[in-house]
Amino acid sequence: MSGASSLQPASGALRSRHPGLAGNLPLWSGGVLLAAIALASLFAPLLSPYGPNDIDLRAVRLPPSADHWLGTDAVGRDLGTRVLYGGRTSLIVAGVGMIGSLTVGSFMGMLGALGSRPVRWAVERAIDIQLAFPYVLLGVAITSVIKPSVPVLILLMVLAAWAGAARIVRAIAMQERGKDYVKAAGVLGASKVRIALRHIFPSVVPSLIVLAAMQMAAMIVFEATLSFLGMGVQPPTPSWGGIMLDGKNYMTSSWWLTVLPGLAIVLTSLSLILIGDGLERRRNSARAGESEE
């Protein structure tokens, strides 16, 4: 009996560190859904007999049918094909924007935690200003001076999202810098750069991985919003927000022109949120397992 009871904490810790499929259903379901969307977009030429910009004025605004699964738009283009190709654009642009915002945010967050006092003050004020500034107004201001394009859209994404990442990185780095192993590294003569990269940043990475999924979901919506307002991806390149923009004048008579690309945005964002939630559960389970040990 004593031997069996002594094994119970260890097995419990093992289960908490390695949850099964049922224990982390959000991660797996979100991953499968996102993989299906990404693969469908990647293999769009194989899945559709039409081109994304093929115009057929004899098939204007047809409802979903056997020939056009998602219907056609105002100039007879196959909507399903444009949604598939638009997924390529939206996912790539959102992914690059997410990577850029996390990179800038991580750099600024580490500066805000480990820099000199004036640098820390400047970073804190920059974060506060950026978080208080509406990103749509930022987009309007920039696109009124610079012609809208994909690089400008990615720049807007980075400018709009870096501050949230910086605040999280800064908070974690400030906690870590007061720990004994970081102080010991400083006493042994390690430079600030080495301490930041070798000792503190690895503790930030797990939170960044979770944030990346959430940030990607936000970027999908961000791209769709700016493209819908005409400040994002420009026609004839299809994107989910741009497709919704094309159909906004026909919302009452041809609902599929806006509802179906909007559904693609919702499903993609949902998959990324589920992945983020699953990663957060996995991280919490690992921490619980370490505390039990």
Question: pLDDT per residue over 109-163, tens digit each?
Answer: 999 998 889 999 999 999 999 888 887 787 778 877 888 888 989 999 999 899 9
Residue ranges per domain, the chain?
21-292
List the single range of 48-62, 115-129, 139-153, 232-246 with lowest mean pLDDT. 139-153
Cβ atoms 261, 240 nearer than 8 A = yes
End-to-end CA distance of the chain: 21
pLDDT of residue 227: 86
Question: pLDDT per residue over 66-112, tens digit each?
Answer: 999 999 999 999 999 999 999 999 999 999 999 999 999 999 999 99
Residue written as token pair 């910009």: 53
Q: 3-state SS of the chain?
A: CHHHHHHHHHHHHHHHHCCCCHHHHHHHHHHHHHHHHHHHHHCHHHHCCCCCCCCCCCCCCCCCCCCCCCCECCCCCEHHHHHHHHHHHHHHHHHHHHHHHHHHHHHHHHHHHHCCHHHHHHHHHHHHHHHHCCHHHHHHHHHCCCCCCHHHHHHHHHHHHHHHHHHHHHHHHHHHHCCHHHHHHHHCCCCHHHHHHHHHHHHHHHHHHHHHHHHHHHHHHHHHHHHHCCCCCCCCCCCHHHHHHHHHHHCCCCCHHHHHHHHHHHHHHHHHHHHHHHHHHHHHHHHHHHHHC
pLDDT of residue 170: 94
Burial of 24 (0-12, 13-18, 19+ CB in 10 A): middle
Buried b / exposed e along 261-286 (16+ C-beta atoms within 10 A) = bbebbeebbebbbbbbbbbbbbeebe
Is residue 28 pLDDT above 80, yes or no?
yes
Which residue, among 157, 131, 129, 132, has the nearest Cα to 226 in the 3D structure? 157
Instruction: Pick 21-292's CATH classification: 1.20.1530.20, 1.10.3720.10, 1.10.10.10, 3.60.15.10.
Output: 1.10.3720.10
Is residue 63 pLDDT above 50, yes or no?
yes
Is residue 1 pLDDT above 70, yes or no?
no
